[in-house]
Chains A and B, each alone.
Chain A
Amino acid sequence: MTVPLTLLGLLEREPSHGYDLKRDYDTFFGRGKPLPYGQVYSTLSRLARDGKVVVGDVAPGAGPDRKRYVITDLGATEVEHWLTEPVEPEPHLQTLLFTKVVLALMLDRPAEEYLDTQRAAHLRRMRELTEIKRSGELVDVMLADHGLYHLEADLRWIETTGARLDALRKAVRP
């Protein structure tokens, strides 16, 4: 859902060609996951079909394509609505990790070892993100920080759960 809205947002900044849109998307938002050209053009076609963009004057850009896309009032309204609406805070009440821990306890498997393995994996990823922060641009730093804070929250949950395993075992194996 965010790719069409992100491309619309980039078009609100200035009319653009598909090639330039992809380049800007990858620079700011596509860290490690560049947007395929096919997805850019199919998304732009859908946005045009829905009246959120129109094809403007034909002029050369940085890439080979000629079509220059312009956001419509409808598209701009949608961007405005999306930006102002808060993202739903995800409660994460049924995470994969939670399911694994409860199942491990039900099956009398070593849940603490699973938590230790997960902790090590989290810390490994945190080291990678910290290295990105140490060598990257500010945009990379902010993205890495977002990941680090989420991983840190997971780790707190892992610690708390590890300290409560005995009680949890009794709760799930009455």
Chain B
Amino acid sequence: MKPRILLALFIIPLGLIIAAVPQNTTKPYKLTAGEMLSEANTRTQFVTPETVADMIVNKDPLLRLIDVRSQEEFEKFSLSGAINIPLADILSDQYVDILNQDVKMNIFYSNGTLNANEAWMITRQLGYSNNYVLEGGINYWFDAILNPQKPASTSSDEEFAKYDFRRSAGQALGGGAVQAEQNKASTTAKPVITAGPKKKKASGGC
């Protein structure tokens, strides 16, 4: 028998089977409870307010702040450039493209750390990466960035350097002035996902 006929006898039935069965869209990827615990223990999901402030000041295009508080709270005050995805709606289909991507650095924040961390755990459990949590939440943001306390005169140089950075970042970001109202329009607008740095992968071909 010709190899071509033999090949046809083999692959046509396989093709017929794969055409007839429903497409498998389930996602078998899940973290086990143990893996989740070890990830949570490493605390690598937390991003310090200094890092976030630095990214905002430098207009880092990869940064995307996600406010997981309710819409009312978001409208009262939000960090500059943030979008609102209330924790209750985080599983909604309309946010999948924002949460499941490998270009931007999504940083969740809430008043404290609790809700943002819950959002991170849910997205992590879904297998999404590039999602982080603002350490300390907005309350700590106020203390650390917008209203930093001058360290005692006996403090280390490091403490003073930190204070100087926080003060200058705070001034650049409005120095304690609450930026209300400005984000009202952006609650429904989806952010435009711009192409980030391309992955350097070996291309195929022969």
Real complex partners, A and B? no
> Which residues does A use to contact B, with CB under 8 Å?
none
B residues at A contact (CB < 8 Å): none
